[in-house]
């Protein structure tokens, strides 16, 4: 009996060790300052929406939301690190403990700084908001010429009222297609009460159908639709059916709303047959602990097979971004390989 018990314990240990060796690519990491979403101290409850106060007016909402992050009501809020240096160290620690590499977007200077601090943990992505960011498409091209930046994104034009087919975006789409640069674009939900925080934000600009004229003109583009284009599931399924170069980043939805709501959205896409085109993203912003929390929620999706989970956590991102699988495994697992 003791011998059998030892064998069972060994099997459990080896199974757990093997599971711990699974690599992850978090396709939605932000090079953030602590004040990215308001002054500190700031903490996030998970799920977020049930912890928020009932809104009064749009004008009052920004202060209500800020109050909720300054005085969280849950027992285990996820805090924002106090300084930029602590923020960087916390994100690196989260990636290391989860065997993860992050697709990192943010101000180019800050992205370069984070990359230099942990070269194997980050893949550089060039953020783009055509109102905020000072580089033209031709200037953006220079970021990609030497291979330093590999991705264009997060394209966050939804916040400034610019839809994907807007003429301002056409030179960037053309540049990305010509240089074979994968693109990540924000579509779907923003923060709660987005229009009260960003007056030009429009829900309608998150509809993935708006990508159709772009893809018709630039069929060589690879586009990742971020945030699952939440709210437009039927449209998303039709676009995935029609355009094989589209993938989906599930970032932020797992912790923003109720877990069962997220599972329902995820299950719909999996039941439609698209588990091989979904990619894990935490979208932790200035709350690094959301990386581990997002992985925990994904692991709890018991309707996914182990193979589907590993596709979503790793394999699909390797394929979409055109990465070297062995190199990504080495970088993710580090000395645990």
Burial class (CB in 10 A: 0-12, 13-18, 19+), 295: buried
Distance CA 307, CA 150 (A): 27
Q: Which pLDDT tens digit goes with each residue over 121-138?
A: 999 999 999 999 999 999
List beta partners, residue 104: 29, 124
* Residue 155, pLDDT above cutoff 80: yes
Average pLDDT over residues 27-43: 95
pTM of the predicted protein model: 0.93
* Residue 283, pLDDT above cutoff 80: yes
pLDDT at 294: 98
pLDDT at 147: 76
* Residue 317, pLDDT above cutoff 50: yes
Domains of the chain, residue spans:
22-336
Task: Note whether 225 and 246 are within 8 A (CB).
Answer: yes
The model's confidence at residue 9, banded by pLDDT at 50, 70 and 90, is very low
pLDDT at 1: 41
Question: In Å, how far are 192, 224, 245, 332 from 182, measured between CA atoms?
Answer: 28, 8, 10, 21
Distance CA 43, CA 162 (A): 30
Phi, psi dihedral angles at 150 (to 5 degrees)? -115, -15
The model's confidence at residue 12, banded by pLDDT at 50, 70 and 90, is very low
Task: Note whether 147 and 68 are within 8 A (CB).
Answer: no
Average pLDDT over residues 1-15: 40
Average pLDDT over residues 38-54: 94
- Of 269, 273, 278, nearest to 235 by C-alpha is 269
The model's confidence at residue 337, banded by pLDDT at 50, 70 and 90, is low
pLDDT at 335: 61
The model's confidence at residue 11, banded by pLDDT at 50, 70 and 90, is very low
Class level of CATH domain 22-336 = alpha beta
List beta partners, residue 155: 128, 185
Report residue 86 as tokens: 């602590």
Q: Which pLDDT tens digit goes with each residue over 213-265?
A: 999 999 999 999 999 999 999 999 999 999 999 999 999 999 999 999 999 99
Which residues, at least 6 apart from 47, have a Cβ–Cβ distance to it below 8 Å? Answer: 255, 256, 257, 258, 259
Report residue 335 as tokens: 């000395």
pLDDT at 25: 98
pLDDT at 15: 40
Average pLDDT over residues 298-310: 98
315 DSSP assignment: I
Report the percent of the chain where pLDDT is more than 90: 91
Q: Which pLDDT tens digit goes with each residue over 167-201?
A: 999 999 999 999 999 999 999 999 999 999 999 99
Query: Would you list the DSSP string of 28-42?
Result: EEE---TTTTSSSS-
């Amino acid at each position: 009996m003791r011998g059998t018990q030892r064998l069972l314990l060994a099997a459990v240990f080896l199974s757990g060790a093997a599971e711990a060796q699974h690599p992850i690519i978090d396709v939605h990491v932000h090079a953030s300052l602590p004040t990215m979403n308001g002054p500190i101290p700031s903490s996030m409850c998970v799920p977020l929406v049930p912890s928020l106060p009932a809104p009064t007016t749009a004008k009052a909402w920004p202060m209500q939301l800020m109050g909720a992050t300054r005085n969280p009501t849950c027992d285990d809020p996820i805090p924002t690190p106090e300084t930029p240096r602590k923020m960087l160290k916390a994100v690196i620690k989260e990636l290391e403990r989860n065997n993860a590499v992050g697709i990192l977007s943010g101000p180019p200077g800050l992205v370069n700084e984070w990359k230099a601090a942990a070269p194997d943990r980050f893949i550089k992505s060039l953020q783009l908001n055509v109102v905020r960011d000072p580089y033209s498409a031709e200037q953006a091209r220079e970021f990609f010429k030497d291979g330093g930046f590999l991705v264009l994104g997060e394209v966050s034009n939804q916040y400034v009222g610019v839809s994907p087919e807007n003429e301002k975006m056409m030179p960037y789409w053309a540049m990305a297609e010509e240089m074979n640069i994968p693109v990540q674009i924000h579509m779907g939900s923003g923060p709660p009460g987005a229009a009260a925080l960003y007056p030009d934000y429009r829900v309608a600009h998150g509809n993935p159908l708006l990508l159709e004229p772009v893809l018709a003109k630039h069929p060589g583009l690879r586009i990742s639709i971020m945030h699952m284009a939440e709210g437009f599931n039927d449209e998303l399924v039709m676009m995935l059916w029609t355009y094989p170069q589209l993938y989906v980043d599930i970032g932020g939805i797992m912790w923003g709303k109720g877990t069962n709501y997220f599972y329902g959205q995820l299950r719909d896409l999996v039941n439609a047959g698209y588990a091989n085109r979904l990619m894990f993203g935490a979208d932790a912003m200035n709350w690094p602990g959301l990386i581990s929390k997002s992985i925990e929620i994904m692991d709890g999706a018991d309707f996914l097979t182990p193979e589907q989970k590993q596709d979503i956590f790793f394999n699909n991102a390797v394929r979409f971004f055109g990465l070297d699988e062995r190199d990504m495994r080495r970088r993710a697992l580090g000395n645990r390989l």
